[in-house]
Amino acid sequence: MKKIICLYLILQLCACSSVQRVDQDAAPAVERALLNETASERPNILWIVAEDLSEYLPMYGDSTVSTPSLSRLAREGICYDRFFSPAAVCAPARSSIALGMYPSRIGSNHMRTGPWFRSNLPQSVIDNYTKTQLPTGVHAYEAIPPAGAKMMSEYLREAGYYCTNNAKEDYQFVKTITAWDACGKEAHWRNRDQEDQPFFSIFNLEITHESQIWARAKDSLWVEHDLEVQVPPYLPDTEIGRRDVRQMYSNIKQMDAQVGDIIAQLEADGLLDNTIIFWYSDHGGPLPRQKRLLYDSGIKVPMIVRYPDQRQAGSRDGDMTSFIDLAPTVLSLAGIPTPEHMDGHAFLGEYRQDEAPSYVFSAADRFDALYDTNRAVRDYRYKLIKYYQTDKPMLLPVAYREQMPIMAELHRLKKAGELTADQALWFRETKPAYEFFDTQSDPHELHSLLDDPAYASKIAELKDALDLWQDRMSDPHMMEETEYIATLWPDGIQPQVTAPEIHRTGELISLSTTTAGASIGYQLVKAHSVDTTRWMVYTEPFDVSGETKVRVAADRVGYKMSPVVEAELD
């Protein structure tokens, strides 16, 4: 009975318990209340998303390179100091952003499930990917969330927003036809139907991506060879190591310039004063022992939010915040309550929860064909990582990462017996069952305090919190992946949404589908022409007077889209 009561109390903490906060880390409550006023104004919302970036920025205490565009956002906005990804790699992280749900709940944490290979490329390319980057017996598939779970942008479209994504998807499932008004290299708020229509626009900046460390290494225009850099203690402070770190900072400068270009477009359109800007990174840094690992270097990321009237300008927010909170927050800013299926909470806007969560959770599983199973829980100061496959080495030789010169340098030093003690930690032949860190005194997470009796109570608390969270997730990644796929695709066949039905009463059309949780999109044809790239979201019966044809399809996240149904209206 005592254990049941303890688990219940932890569940409440995981959901929305209050914690004692340091004053300088938390925005005053009276000022927070002011943030809610924006909800009724139907603001434009702009996301600028960098890739593979930790807090290597002046507003986070690193002045190695100047970032005038981001520094401006920081001066005029709010910097978030405890913002985390539930996954340390892009596709699982993006699935959590798109749905507001943990990847460990929706089965999207294996990197990758490969739906875009399945649907967009020639069969020969798909076969090669399956052979070289997926485990034996695993075919490309889509993660399937619970019925009714929709991509966050669809809720905004239903509320009248024009929604665009430029241009990366990589959600672990194919985007639904109702997700975006436009998705691609040309997607832009400037293409919306009316100038006064509110928009939600995403711009994904790839220049800080891990691959750009080696892709730009031979181009002297893209690196500052004399830049003085501080190399993290778990990486080699050699000429090769410093060169790759310099490249990372040079890429940050280029990314900052791209941010400036987007803001300049917003200003040129006269929209800066009614647009809320979010800038953040899709997970931790690009260097070895950052991306793909559950240390803070892999999951703790910078985020800046700027309001049109610069309210809270220059302030910092110290609440625990996760990617699963982004969808509820954007919806809240648009005056839309959080859908029941979402795991996160709104931290801004009309439906903001005043009590922040006590914990954030993260997970790491398969990378390409290499399986691992790691889980982490973090509170305001302490981190617990649980390793399930302790017989495997800490370092998984992911082929993509092995292309990086600094990675080759680590292998050279290991072979020569010249790794430092901090560097050698990643090369351990087996993993401990747990690691426990004080992230305040040990920000690089190099000294596990698991066996220190002074922390026994905190360790027990985090273990219970992690176990309870996994129970809540019904974590499908604890299954063999082939068995899990079989539960999604019976007999190896992807489920498909049933064809929608069209009902006409006079000049009104209503639509329906029998597939639970499916959305319906439609296109109206005039003079035998139609924009086949854009589907309108069906929410209620609509007038078709003057139209010649209606095209209808239904879609659900993770399912194959229904057949397209057409009806002549003449």
Helix and strand counts by DSSP (H, E) for the chain? 16, 20
d(CA 558, CA 172): 9
pLDDT at position 191 over 80: yes
pLDDT band for 126, please (50, 70, 90 cuts). Answer: confident
Number of domains the chain contains: 2
The residue-averaged pLDDT of 47-65 equals 98
The residue-averaged pLDDT of 249-270 equals 97
Burial letters 436-452, b for 16+ CB under 10 A, else e: bbbbeeeebbbebbeee
Comparing 125 with 7, which gets the higher pLDDT? Answer: 125
pLDDT at position 16 over 50: no
User: Does the residue 243 lie in any domain?
Assistant: yes
Comparing 3 with 282, which gets the higher pLDDT? Answer: 282
Tell me if residue 151 falls in helix, strand or coil: coil
pLDDT at position 553 over 70: yes
d(CA 164, CA 271): 16
Dihedral, 484, 485, 489, 494 alpha carbons, nearest 10 = 140
The residue-averaged pLDDT of 213-225 equals 74
User: Does the residue 529 lie in any domain?
Assistant: yes
Query: DSSP assignment, residue 416?
Result: T
Q: Residue 211: how many CB atoms within 10 A of its CB?
A: 15
d(CA 198, CA 43): 6
Residue labelled with tokens 């997730």? 473
User: Does the residue 135 lie in any domain?
Assistant: no
The residue-averaged pLDDT of 27-53 equals 67
Angstrom CA distances, 298 to 86, 131, 313, 467, stand at 10, 28, 28, 22
Q: Worst-scoring range by mean pLDDT, 222-231, 408-417, 482-491, 524-533?
A: 524-533
Q: Which of 14, 16, 79, 90 is catalytic?
A: 90
The residue-averaged pLDDT of 288-307 equals 98
CB-CB contact of 383 with 447 (8 Å): no
User: Does the residue 525 lie in any domain?
Assistant: yes
Q: Worst-scoring range by mean pLDDT, 77-86, 114-123, 501-510?
A: 114-123
49 — phi, psi (to 5°)?
-115, 115
User: Does the residue 20 lie in any domain?
Assistant: no
Task: State which residues form the domain around 513.
Answer: 501-568
User: Does the residue 76 lie in any domain?
Assistant: yes
pLDDT given at position 530: 66
Q: Worst-scoring range by mean pLDDT, 102-116, 275-289, 329-343?
A: 102-116
Mean pLDDT of the chain: 91
d(CA 20, CA 395): 37
Comparing 432 with 223, which gets the higher pLDDT? Answer: 432
What's the length of the chain?
570
Query: DSSP assignment, residue 191?
Result: G
Report pLDDT digits (tens) over 443-462: 999 999 999 999 999 999 99
Q: What angle do CA 205, 399, 303 make, to 5 degrees?
A: 30
**Paired strand residues for 554:** 520
The residue-averaged pLDDT of 74-98 equals 98
pLDDT at position 53 over 70: yes
Q: What angle do CA 288, 294, 295 make, to 5 degrees?
A: 70
d(CA 225, CA 246): 7
Comparing 367 with 18, which gets the higher pLDDT? Answer: 367
Strand 382-387 with 374-378, pairing? antiparallel
User: Does the residue 297 lie in any domain?
Assistant: yes
The verdict on whether 16 is a catalytic residue reads no
The residue-averaged pLDDT of 432-443 equals 98
Tell me if residue 78 falls in helix, strand or coil: strand
pLDDT band for 10, please (50, 70, 90 cuts). Answer: very low
d(CA 33, CA 23): 17
pLDDT band for 217, please (50, 70, 90 cuts). Answer: confident
Per-residue tokens: 405: 């010169």
d(CA 223, CA 251): 8
Tell me if residue 235 falls in helix, strand or coil: coil
Q: Worst-scoring range by mean pLDDT, 4-8, 73-77, 421-425, 426-430?
A: 4-8
The residue-averaged pLDDT of 380-393 equals 98
**Domain CATH code at residue 236:** 3.40.720.10
Amino acid (1-letter code) at residue 529: S
The residue among 355, 370, 390 that closes a domain is: 355
pLDDT at position 305 over 60: yes
Dihedral, 104, 110, 112, 118 alpha carbons, nearest 10 = -80
d(CA 201, CA 178): 15
**Paired strand residues for 367:** 111, 370
The residue among 323, 355, 387 that closes a domain is: 355
The residue-averaged pLDDT of 319-340 equals 98
**Domain CATH code at residue 518:** 2.60.40
**Torsional sign, CA 64, 70, 72, 73:** negative
The residue-averaged pLDDT of 525-537 equals 80
The residue among 298, 320, 355 that closes a domain is: 355
pLDDT given at position 394: 98
User: Does the residue 212 lie in any domain?
Assistant: yes
